[in-house]
Structure 1
């Protein structure tokens, strides 16, 4: 073989005749095919595997894009590149062009989160702060736009490089979306699915503007300060409580606390009152027995007082549920605060059946407008 044949063989070996990319990573989005002086042999074979797209760029301009398959690189298969280079009648010599392989598979389990708390206005709790985090999945849907707008001249572009940009975009749009949602603060954690889908719809157009498809978006958690959590829990319990029973319970606890406060005048008075009641109950239980076990002997001619009247106890109905017993004054207070009305059913010992309050003689005074009978003629 003469010297010219050796030179020709050496030069031909420097021209690329197979253009392909074997991806051994799981984070590379775009890879620039490297070859000697960017020259590709006329008629070279282009191999694009499933989950890949090949993008040809000529002097910074987007040329041809190839999906999965095997191609012979000719002017027929490179119409845009041929136009850019002015190939009118075909080409027989090696040509220069940059080739980028783009991964089009789904990139999953990408993390996002709010770096700083988001301040929201709530009708009941005022200004509140929340944080949120979750995951998202994306893939390249327009490889040409992605290469031109994002990758540029980077020879090996990974998802780490794009994630910082995407996370900033997500945090901004998430803040706007939750602010416009105007949900009660306690409902954010209970509506993450609906909120996630709304956020995805809002963010998708901005992703697509650079050739990226936002396929999935998940909010995993919405957190808030501990003191706000406690306040929300207490508020939710109030909605479930019977406020009348709660007021009665708190009043009973207050009376108990006052009775234990022996150092205060109110406590002493309460203690004395409870002592009198206890003494009366003890006397009743002992049947009037004096200390020492001897029965008291009434003095001759001494007036004997009649027995103490027994306080009447009333039962009343609220929403079909029996309540009570309560005293006359307590029943009057219930009527005054509109817990019951003139149509409410009441019952006391001695009544054959339940009757509306307005039909019970001694309770008619609640209704007002009572007038005394006319004076007898003199």
Structure 2
């Protein structure tokens, strides 16, 4: 495949990109399809480092979550949904949801999967049939000690790509601390990365992030450690958060925020005014912490909507955490390079000889891409590709360029 008239991120002018046998080559040696990018911007494939694909698209599998809280959503999943998830059902839905993500430009995903009822193992097996790169996290929800599943967790950690945790879900603070230590112990034993649900609450007294950071420093594992959610930071005293950020910078841990679903879940116990309940994305980025963005749940008991569109996620992060116009460009890093760093992806990016892994946006700039959040015009990952032919006309006249690039 030859992609011509492409505007590659970080470079001036228009270029040709040639994909041969799933790799980026210096020139096309065989006749193949030609895609005219028409000056659109090309960026590396989108990275979604936080999702729950195993029970995505299960919104109608049980009783509705009437309170809209995370607590009720977890109960509905454990009681109504997960017991119904057969291998065939997981395979069918995983194909559906990863297809949706691929159409939206996502080529790398990390999914957090409970191992009760064998769900994590079913997802691990079914990933062989999908077009994306997928990392699986052993997720001990709603708590290792709370549900007394330590032995099952140890077993799951052998197969998983990443070790999870959920310390704020444990019965006591001390059990939460012990669950953090257990996750690090399993990660070191099995040479695995760590990605935990940490401080996903509005409670300003939920401070397990500092425990994770302490263990990351003690074990020298910071770059392989990701703190997901961290919504309690929205309620922290600013003096404490400043101290915490200093520790996080020193440790080199990663943070993943899921602004859309966090806005839906947090603040549910507030009257008015209601907290936004999203991690302090902007402050952490300015401090030099690697912050990435994820989709979290899609069409399930936790969050009933969702589309897998990372540009929409970036747009919502801009809104919720009071970014300003000159910072829009940093949001693209949060759905590409920052996520790749959190997932420890090797050879990520656009380069000759590398696996073809890029997105031709339906825009000529980062600003326009995030403003419009349109699905990409072309997505390529290895030998797989998607073409989204979006055309708009009024009274028979093509107005596509006006819609895609408002500020030109």
TM tier relative to shorter chain = under 0.3
Q: Which has the higher contact order (CA 8 A, sep 6+)?
A: 2
More strand by share: 1
What TM-score, normalized by structure 2, do the two folds share? 0.17
Larger Rg: 1
TM-score w.r.t. structure 1 length? 0.19
